[in-house]
Amino acid sequence: MSDLDDLVSLYFRLSFTNKEILGMLAHSHQTIISVRTLKRICKRLGLFRRKNQSNLEEVLAFVQQEIMTNGQMQGYRWLHLRAVQKGFVVSQDTVRRIIKLVDPQGVELRRARRLRRRQYQCRGPNALWHMDGYDKLKPYGIAISGCIDGFSRYVLWMEAYTTNNDPKLISSYFLKTVSGVNGCPERIRADRGTENSSVEQMQIFLRRNHTDNFAGEKSFIYGRSTANQRIEGWWATLRKQSAQFWMNLFQTFQDDGHFTGDFLDKSLIQFCFLNLIQDELDDVVNTWNSHRIRPSASAASGRPVVMYSFPELHRAQDRLKPIVADEITVCMEECRPKGQYPCDETIFELCCLLMVENDWDAPRDPLVAADLYIKLREEILQSI
């Protein structure tokens, strides 16, 4: 399979339209092909949107599996996109009917929650990045930090680690993203937590020689966390699509006497679950960035990744500001990236030793990880 075939297959699995696939090929890969050529490639690769529908029992099994884990809070549009990304050929209506059949209670719970949203306006991608931390899993030793583009709602980073209060760690996320997009935003908005101090200094430093109205100190905005609308809205999505499942699981540990909140328990949670949670965050972000945001009177609509990459389709302009490589290198010296271990090094080595001695497998899913957590905890407590 050629590189072009791989790219077409990737964007098709992300549920992109033909127009969006052609746009991404031209913009991100400097590959220009016609609609007819694209259709021929899709036909040759067996990529169909309506033909050759997947076996209904397999789709049913997939939906049931999703609902058993973090998918229990997801709506049918999100689950349909997840199914397409997993290679199923199925209509949105079919997924909706299956969910209504296998999870009627969940449907009613989701239907009952309707919000009146505040209006939000932004001039284009990279005009305003929204940063914040998510602390719902922090009582269990896992902290999340994220950033989202205000115009496109494209998630720029979403990182799980043992802390989200270290300014040097948060600035490493920022610089990694800035280096990846080869520029810094026009402005950043964050709350007044000390964890954002390094990012503030770096943003002002990188923007000090620019001449626009928001250059220098005006390029960083402080405000109340609850008023940081874009990222706060995304936290609600994250809770529904992922975090609530982990909160329920860890609360069950606590209710059953398997978690007291001490150093050992938090370290074991980190050892068993941190990588799984990061993998799931990556999946949620990928799904979010490629899903279609419904039309709104006050904001642009479409797929976040397309809106971020092609602002001209929405009569907007990319506000990304140029950076100097040497300045990024200087800033990197003030950062502290994620460590080598997901938890305390001593606990990590002890857990690895116990797993080898008892022939326990590394956790591949939440249920296996939960079983490993309980076994490791019991083994360590018995030896104390």
pLDDT digits (tens, 9 = 90+) for 273-331: 999 999 999 999 999 999 888 876 566 788 999 999 999 888 899 999 999 999 999 99
Q: pTM, whole model, 2 decimals?
A: 0.75
In percent, how much of the chain has pLDDT > 90? 58
Could you tell me the CA-to-CA distances from 192 to 136, 150, 195, 230 in Å, in that order?
19, 19, 8, 17
* Identity of residue 113: R
| Residue keyed to tokens 């976040």 | 304
Are 15 and 84 contacting, i.e. CB atoms less than 8 angstroms apart?
yes
Q: Pick from 44, 35, 47: which is nearest to 11 by CA?
A: 47
Residue 115 has pLDDT above 50, yes or no: no
In percent, how much of the chain has pLDDT > 70? 89
pLDDT score, position 116: 37
Window from 45-54, 188-197, 215-224, 363-372 with minimum mean pLDDT: 45-54
Question: Average pLDDT, whole number, for the chain?
Answer: 87
Are 89 and 97 contacting, i.e. CB atoms less than 8 angstroms apart?
no
Residue 72 has pLDDT above 60, yes or no: no
Question: Distance between CA 61 and CA 73 in Å, rounded?
Answer: 17
Q: In the predicted model, what is the mean pLDDT of residues 190-206?
A: 94
Window from 74-78, 235-239, 261-265, 348-352 with minimum mean pLDDT: 74-78
Compute the CA torsion angle 176, 181, 185, 186 (nearest 10 deg): 150
pLDDT score, position 227: 62
Does 133 or 61 have the greater pLDDT score? 133
Q: In the predicted model, what is the mean pLDDT of residues 38-43?
A: 87
Q: In the predicted model, what is the mean pLDDT of residues 72-94?
A: 71
- Cβ-in-10-Å burial (0-12, 13-18, 19+) of 77 comes to middle
Q: In the predicted model, what is the mean pLDDT of residues 178-194?
A: 94
**pLDDT band at residue 148 using 50, 70 and 90 as cut-offs:** very high
Question: Distance between CA 251 and CA 253 in Å, rounded?
Answer: 5
37-41, 168-172, 219-223, 226-230: which is most confident: 168-172
pLDDT score, position 112: 59
Q: In the predicted model, what is the mean pLDDT of residues 61-77?
A: 65
Q: In the predicted model, what is the mean pLDDT of residues 1-19?
A: 80
Residue 81 has pLDDT above 50, yes or no: yes
* CA 50 from centre of chain: 29
pLDDT score, position 89: 73
What fold is seen in the domain 129-332?
Nucleotidyltransferase; domain 5 (3.30.420)
Question: Distance between CA 204 and CA 138 in Å, rounded?
Answer: 30
- Between CA 104 and CA 96, with CA 77 as vertex, the angle to 5 degrees is 35
Window from 5-19, 20-34, 181-195 with minimum mean pLDDT: 5-19
Question: Distance between CA 71 and CA 77 in Å, rounded?
Answer: 12
Window from 69-83, 214-228, 234-248, 363-377 with minimum mean pLDDT: 69-83
Query: Which runs of E-coded beta strand occur in the chain?
Result: 129-134, 143-149, 155-161, 188-190, 220-222
